[in-house]
Amino acid sequence: MPARIRLQRHGKKNQPFYHIVVADGRAPRDGKFIEKLGTYNPLTNPATIELNCDKAVQWLKNGAQPSETARRILSYKGVLLRRHLQIGVEKGAITQEQADVRFNEWLQAKEAKIATAKSNVENGLREQKKARMDAEKKANEAKAAAVAAKRQAAAEAEAAAKAEAEAAAANSEEAATTGDATPAGDETAEAEAPAAE
């Protein structure tokens, strides 16, 4: 069975991290391998790929078959294009200098595309953070306004209760002063009435 270029899983549960390896096709996924070509971390945005392109091209030249995911990674890093250009050089269709120029042009375009994607992701994260901060400010202002309104209502209620208490106290004092005079007059009137009879 031919050698396979494939991923070997590492990392914790729900946090995968992969090694890109060349292994015998009969070997288990995380078992023995012939050579490690690089690493792949899908958790970052965009995914982080470190790959030794020269060794990957050499293994492809020697007949190693990549798995589907490994093929996508190799295509993303330009290994398949490099191998394709190398085949053209071997057949005499293009020179090595032309192949290098084409590969460097493709690589610069790819790096520019990746840089644009990274800047878009960073800008998106920055905008999300700003939107969260604005929403939090609005929520805090609304909460502060509600607390201020509640305190003002409590102060008004307290002032009204105090005014009622003062009015009641004033009325009771007034009633006490007028009420004391009337019963005393009534008693004197009652006291005088039997004497008159």
Q: Print the domain residue range for 141.
A: 118-175
59 and 21 housed in the same domain: yes
Tell whether 194 is covered by a domain: no
Per-residue pLDDT for 60 more than 60? yes
Contact call for residues 6 and 21 (beta carbons, < 8 A): yes
Q: How far apart are CA 11 and CA 17, in angstroms?
A: 5
pLDDT of residue 103: 92
Domain of 47: which CATH number?
3.30.1320.10
Q: Which residues contact 120 (CB under 8 A, 6 or more apart)?
A: none
Half-sphere exposure of 129 (CA within 13 A, CB side): 6
If one counts the domains in the chain, the total is 2
Per-residue pLDDT for 97 more than 60? yes
Tell whether 39 is covered by a domain: yes
62 and 130 housed in the same domain: no
- 20: tokens are 């890109």
9 and 81 housed in the same domain: yes
Per-residue pLDDT for 71 more than 90? yes
Tell whether 107 is covered by a domain: no
130 and 82 housed in the same domain: no
| Whether the model pTM is above 0.85 | no
10 and 64 housed in the same domain: yes
Contact call for residues 75 and 62 (beta carbons, < 8 A): no
10 and 79 housed in the same domain: yes
- 189: tokens are 């009137």
- 157: tokens are 């209620």
88 and 7 housed in the same domain: yes
147 and 86 housed in the same domain: no
In whole numbers, what is the pLDDT of the chain averaged over residues? 86
Tell whether 48 is covered by a domain: yes
